[in-house]
Amino acid sequence: MTIPTEPIGSLPRSPELIAAIQAHENGRLSDSQLQALCDEAVLDTLRRFEATGSPVASDGEQRKTHNFADYCVHGLPNFAPDGFRLVFLDHYRVWPRLTAGPFRYANRADRHAAFAVRHTRLPVKQAVISPSALSLFYPAEPLPGYDREQFFEDLLAEHELEIAGCLAAGAHCVQVDFTEGRLACKLDPSGALLADFIRLNNLALSRFSDEERARIGIHTCPGGDRDSTHSADVDYAELLPSLFELKAGNFYVALAREPDRSRVLDLIRRHLRPGQRVFVGVIDVLDPRIETAEEVRDRVLEAAAYIPPAQLGTTDDCGFAPFCDDLSTSRDTAFAKIRARVEGTALAAAILSRRP
């Protein structure tokens, strides 16, 4: 028996790459110089993935030189820097605000997928941002000559092009980051905002075939930035029933840091549908301590008591550095944790394969 295991997305950038990104922002480094450094960081990331024994690699989002969400619009002239505030426990991040239509991507992740696929023997996973997160770019007041309906139409078209491009470039799978799912329950306890997010994301997923959706997954977590979260206080019971309504084949659910994992696993068991696979988080990316393979093994076996092994996978709770300036975790620590996940998952699979 094999239990699939995959990374989430972002990995820490080196201090040198972070300094280069800042120099580029300040006009002291050219586009081509920064691109060369990002390419080197991706190559190093892929080599490190191969060394861990991981069956799947990612580019670690090393070429996303801002963050996991607004990489697609960063630098465009029709955005202002004073949009939605994403509030963590001890700090906040600010989303850009659309100031005029039309909404278009400046950068698509399929370029990143194509580069990674060319430079590793491993299957490559590509992370992209969700339509629901992108919807937060539109301001509260309607934009003159560019209403919200037209914005959604353009947004869905751009998102579809990005995912289709990733699959065409040879990505093994595409992960849609939906960190705002749990946050929606906090921002609007009535559930209306979450319902809107689910509806919008399903409109996007409906544009793909069943075969394509089997290669598309949804990631949910309570956020993870500078060792802080934005919605860990939200009960998973408010999110999970709606989460599995999404028309995706795979779900990546942060779990390692949850205080009552068995309760969350029971919720997953009750709402997971046939044909869906859930990758449970077995690595706490906010904890500097490196898990042992045996700890991971035990977390996988715990999950297998609730989820059929044929529908089970493992992952990390979140990306290690969704924002490019996050230095809270080193690259060495991140890859040591990934190795523990890979080895612990294999230990659990071996035990489960011996069971009748």
CA distance 342 to 314: 9
Give the total residue count for the chain.
356
* pLDDT of res. 182: 96
User: Rounded to two decimals, what is the model's pTM?
Assistant: 0.96
Per-residue model confidence (pLDDT) at position 163: 98
Pair 307, 279: CB distance under 8 Å: no
Residue 36, CB-side half-sphere exposure with 13 Å CA sphere = 5
Q: What is the pLDDT of residue 334?
A: 97
Half-sphere exposure of 182 (CA within 13 A, CB side): 22
Q: Domains in the chain, start-ordered, CATH in brackets?
A: 15-353 (3.20.20.210)
Instruction: Please state, in angstroms and rounded to a whole number, the distance separating the CA atoms of residues 58 and 120.
Output: 10
Q: Which pLDDT score, from 0 to 100, does residue 66 have?
A: 83
Longest dimension (CA), the chain: 65
Residue range 326-352, pLDDT digits in tens: 889 999 999 999 999 999 999 999 999
Map residue 103 onto helix, strand or coil. Answer: coil
* Per-residue pLDDT at 32: 94
How far is Cα 66 from Cα 80, in angstroms, rounded to an integer? Answer: 15
Low-confidence ranges of the chain (pLDDT < 50): none
Distance of alpha carbon 225 from the chain centroid = 13
Strand residue runs (E) in 101-146:
124-129
Task: Please state, as a whole number, how many other Cβ atoms lie within 10 Å of the Cβ of residue 137.
Answer: 21
Contact 14, 21 (CB under 8 A): no
What do you get for the CA distance between the two ends of the chain, in Å?
Answer: 12
- pLDDT of amino acid 119: 98
Question: What per-residue confidence (pLDDT) applies to 198?
Answer: 98
Q: What is the DSSP annotation of 279-317? A: EEEEE-TT--SPPPHHHHHHHHHHHHTTS-GGGEEEEES
- 3-state class percentages of the chain: helix first, strand second, coil last, to nearest 5: 45, 15, 45
Q: Check residue 22 and give its pLDDT.
A: 92
Can you give the pLDDT at residue 324?
Answer: 87
pLDDT given at position 227: 87
Tens of pLDDT along 68-87? 989 999 999 999 999 999 99
